[in-house]
Amino acid sequence: MGLRVCIFKVGVTSNPPLRFCEYKKKHYSHMYVICESPSVDKVHMLEAALISEFHKHIGCRNKPDSGGEGALNRTNPVKPPYFVYVVAGRADQCRRAPASHIVELAKAEVADNANPSRAMVDFAKIPLEHAEEGCHEVFLKYGFAAPIEIEKLNLGLGSLSQFPFLKFSSWAQFLLDRGQVPMQMCGCKNLRAMRDVLGEFWERYKALHPNHQLFQIVQGDDERLRRTIPVYSHTDEGRTYKHEALFVLSTHSCLGRGTSSYVLKGKHALPLRRRGLGLNFIGSTWSTHFLSAVLLHEVEKENPGVLAGIVAAYAQDMSSLATHGLSLDSDGDANERIYFQHVGTKGDLPALAKLGSFKRTHSHVARQPQSRTPCQGICYLCLAGQEQSADGRQPSIPWEDTALNPAWAATVDQVLPWDGRAEPVILRGLPIDPTRKARFFLTDIWHNFHLGLSKHFWASSVVSLIERLPLLQAMTIEAAIKHLSDDYSRFWKQRKMNPLEKEINREVLSWPYGRVCPVGKWSKGSTATAFMQWLEDFCTRCVVHQAHDELLLIVEPCH
């Protein structure tokens, strides 16, 4: 397999066959073991040297200046030998590849084939330095790309003066013209079914948000609501091929075809008034989630006003869709218009804090008994975490209060999390609920659990087992941790599955010694799922009907 016709990655491992099985799931087809050594340092040094030499090649999937990281650096690494490997896969399979790589393959095909296709000739003519733009033009020419106009925003000097931006209104008009809005936006077969679903949605929404400005705008016009599609914006941090941080802004409908379970149980076939409306899960995200903009973190850091400019353009577009809508017909008949209501923006807490310019965020949590400047709070929805001021005018409201009637509960929706004179840009011109503005910003419950609550719950549960379960009390702490780790490995081996985190140790518990409060240490949400599934199974086998400790009996039902 030649260097120019493959995608490859350099790595180290102690078990090449097992590692290759993981790569095969990612469509890599070959593995070459190029070095074996009993020294971790030597294999890491060779890995770093190879990445330094080859990372500039188009097909290399290693991040520049990387090498030497990974599982072999654990406190208790697996025993030698250790191996340096290269995995590779052909770039012409159905996987993502850089545009320049496609052009190189096309040039090679035209050089070797006496009768290449017209499309292949067009690809081969593209200059490598303009590969991405050229490929897009060829895709458009042969009908392999949606004809969505790319707007140019003036966000600064140089390339920022022509910043590419996709209006959601352009996506929506494209789907309207093709008759695909009912299915892609509401999971319905036709406009009539879509109107019925939308009418039901807004009736339920009004019961929860009676003060929303949309209901004042329509003034009882139920037919207008039956033509208004609710949508969410979503902000997240992605990664480029070289693993550089990337801000991503996209839009998707609140409604869809549901989930696989929803359909298998026949819930989609229930009468509309008795039906839970379908979530937007089924179907490729390429057809149900619509990109507006991406921005490198490095560019955002060097040009602080760029993100605000992108969000301002997005807000203006969404405001127009909510108030003016889009025409179903070329004559623009007002009775044949479809509207889109931006009901909320989703993201993890750092993304929401950035969009909303929050003064109260989780990063402000006090790390000392008393801060020099009293903390204003750590939650954008309430005043939890607020510290008492020196003059006593600002009361203390502990965020740790988990009583049935905590002090922070009375402060929900009472104080805006941003400066009242500077409303977040994303809200400009948008009909919202003026009594609950902060609730426009929506947290992701799975982010909150998998990368938040579960870390505390799982780690504390494991330590409680070590300290209180009779089976483990008879062992040393190190032996107890190893016993649980072995049990965890057996659990997944029996299910013939391979979780990202291979073992339980002090590092993953963030528990170096007994007086430290444990908290799970992982960065992938699927790890939380794996640990919680094992904990549920372990408690079922070793706690239920076998332990009488009150704390352990509280842990078990939580699953």
CA distance linking residue 123 with residue 108, whole number of Å: 11
CA distance linking residue 127 with residue 184, whole number of Å: 36
For the question of whether the overall pTM of this predicted structure is more than 0.85, the answer is: no
| Structure tokens belonging to residue 182 | 């009912």
CA distance linking residue 477 with residue 386, whole number of Å: 38
| CB contact burial 59-71 (16+ within 10 A = b; e otherwise) | bbbbbeebbeeee
pLDDT tens digits along 76-128? 778 889 999 999 887 555 555 678 878 887 888 788 788 888 988 999 999 98
- Work out the number of other CB atoms within 10 angstroms of the CB of residue 447: 16
Answer whether residue 253 shows pLDDT above 90: yes
Considering only CA atoms, give the Rg of the chain: 28
Residue 557 confidence class, pLDDT cut points 50, 70, 90: low
Per-residue pLDDT at 335: 60
pLDDT tens digits along 208-248? 999 999 999 998 889 999 999 999 999 987 777 667 788 99
Answer whether residue 368 shows pLDDT above 80: no
Closest CA to 417 of 397, 436, 395, 393: 436
Residue 52 confidence class, pLDDT cut points 50, 70, 90: confident
In this predicted structure, which of 73-82, 403-412, 543-552 has the lowest mean pLDDT?
543-552
CA distance linking residue 488 with residue 504, whole number of Å: 8
Between these two residues, 408 and 551, which has the higher pLDDT value? 408
Per-residue pLDDT at 469: 87
CB contact at 8 A, 380 and 417: yes
CA distance linking residue 468 with residue 546, whole number of Å: 12
As a whole number, the mean pLDDT across the chain is 87
pLDDT tens digits along 173-215? 999 998 999 999 999 999 999 999 999 999 999 999 999 999 9
Closest CA to 292 of 99, 149, 401, 113: 149
pLDDT tens digits along 151-161? 999 998 888 99
CB contact at 8 A, 528 and 450: yes
Measured on CA atoms in the order 462, 467, 470, 476, is the torsion positive or negative?
positive
Answer whether residue 537 shows pLDDT above 70: yes
Residue 330 confidence class, pLDDT cut points 50, 70, 90: very low
Answer whether residue 260 shows pLDDT above 80: yes
Per-residue pLDDT at 94: 55
DSSP string spanning 388-428?
PPTTSSS--B-TT--SSS-GGGGGTTTS-SS-TTS--GGGT
| For range 432-449, the mean pLDDT | 90
Report the SS3 class of residue 235.
Answer: strand
Instruction: List CB contacts of 34: < 8 A, sequence separation 6 or more.
Output: 84, 85, 86
Residue 558 confidence class, pLDDT cut points 50, 70, 90: low
CA distances (Å), origin 149, targets 134, 302, 378: 16, 28, 41
